[in-house]
Amino acid sequence: MTVRLGDVTFSDWVSLEYEDGFTDTFIFHVDSMNGLPPFGYRPLLQRLVAELNKKRRGASLWIRIDSPGDWYLMEIKLAMRRGLSIPYSVTRAEEVPDFRSFSFCPTLYPLPQKRPPAIENGLAGITQEQIKCLQVLVRTRKGTVDEIASLTGLSEKITGNTVEELQDNNQAVFKLGEKTQKDKSKPKEMDPYPMWHPTRPGMSIALRSWGASRQLAFSGIKEMNSHLIGTAHRTTSRRWPAWLRSAYPHAEIWSGWSETKMPGISVYPDALAWGKIQGYETLFWLEVGDNHKKRNEIELITKKRLKSAWKFCKRTGVRLVYAQLSQEWVLEAARWSLTNLPSEIAVIMGNSKKFGKLSVIEWAG
């Protein structure tokens, strides 16, 4: 049950009982299927903790992760390595923190602390499908039904019906919008076709669903390179989860994100999907295009991307499927980089114009 503390809210609150007393613990719940990669929560949590420090000295934080695999939870743990100014514990949603799982010893009281006031979370009457579509629209700024369906994991039919409902509720609007210009000195242009956009009320719903109170802006979550919205390149990137579901119907594709920064490495994929295939928890790293590069440039950049992608995967122990969707001559040039790969990597290739068609996944080892 959502609780309020001053101007901010938390998913819930509990006074955990341990051998020497009771905690004053606020809960921040994270759903790994909420349209966000796991890398951007720390700034929000820092701001929430600042409120706890001001209004509830001695409080602790329980970050509770609902996730089908291990990777998402592990990335949030890694993101929190620099710590917070109060004790915190990161666990799966179904687990209760052990006293030793906190970053440092939480304050214990002889009696349970007073529960903060409960409030409505502002999501009553909104379906899960509507929330999912709004979460994707807020992160991507605008998009088409097939792009939204891919990133939410919903069918295109359900997605189409859902965005129409959102429009009826003034939470989304289908319109021809203004194109984001990389060069701000150039004249304004319109998008090549109409797309679905979140309205201000729709944005508010998405932010609340992520645990960001109205008074706390959740910055740094949006898709990068917004000037590419409306291009074939961006559409392919956004449809990557759906592409994988079509190509590998027996795989589990849990979630995916287009154009997201990656911690600890200098490069980032056009899209990243997360799931399970052949029994292994796996990240599916996508690169699109490279048609404008020379053959030797393609070989060099592919080596760099593969090295960075594998470095990123090794820190949490997940497997890597590295994918290139391009014209045939680009794929041929990229293949020269595919030597001496670790056994936990597979490389797949496909034509960017043939949706759902990918080569068989074969691990290098």
Q: Could you tell me the maximum CA-CA distance found in the chain, to the nearest angstrom?
A: 71
Handedness of CA 145, 149, 151, 152 (dihedral sign): positive
Integer Cα distance of 104 and 88 in angstroms: 8
- Specify the pLDDT at position 42: 85
The upper half-sphere exposure of residue 20, i.e. CA atoms within 13 Å in the direction of its Cβ, equals: 6
Which class is 128-219 in CATH?
mainly alpha
Do 89 and 101 meet the contact criterion of CB atoms below 8 Å apart?
A: yes
| Per-residue CA distances from 324 to 105, 269, 283 (Å) | 47, 10, 14
- Specify the pLDDT at position 270: 95
Strand partners, 280: 277
User: Shortest CA distance to 23 belongs to which of 89, 98, 107?
Assistant: 107
The runs of H, that is alpha helices, within 177-327 are 200-209, 232-238, 240-247, 295-314
What is the distance between the terminal CA atoms of the chain, rounded to a whole angstrom? 48
Integer Cα distance of 6 and 260 in angstroms: 33
- Specify the pLDDT at position 186: 83
DSSP for 152-199, please give it. Answer: HT--HHHHHHHHHHHHHTTSEEEE--BPPPSSTTSPP-B-SS-EEEE-
| Per-residue CA distances from 241 to 111, 114, 249, 336 (Å) | 49, 45, 11, 27
- Specify the pLDDT at position 93: 95
User: How many of the other CB atoms lie within 10 Å of CB of 145?
Assistant: 21
The tens-digit pLDDT sequence of the chain (365 residues) is 899 988 889 999 999 999 999 999 999 999 999 999 998 888 889 888 988 999 999 999 999 999 999 999 999 999 888 888 999 999 999 999 999 999 999 999 999 999 999 988 888 899 999 999 999 999 999 999 999 999 999 999 999 999 999 999 999 999 999 998 877 778 889 999 999 999 999 999 999 999 886 656 666 788 998 989 999 999 999 999 999 999 999 999 999 999 998 888 989 999 999 999 999 999 999 999 767 778 888 888 888 999 999 999 999 999 999 999 988 888 888 888 888 889 999 999 999 889 999 999 999 76
For domain 232-351, give the fold: Trna Endonuclease; Chain: A, domain 1 (3.40.1350)
Considering the entire predicted model, what is its pTM?
0.94
b/e per residue 294-328 (b: at least 16 CB within 10 A): eeeebbebbeebbebbbebbeebebbbbbbbbbee
Integer Cα distance of 361 and 292 in angstroms: 27
- Specify the pLDDT at position 339: 81
**88 backbone dihedrals φ, ψ, rounded to 5°:** -140, 155
- Specify the pLDDT at position 326: 87
- Specify the pLDDT at position 115: 93
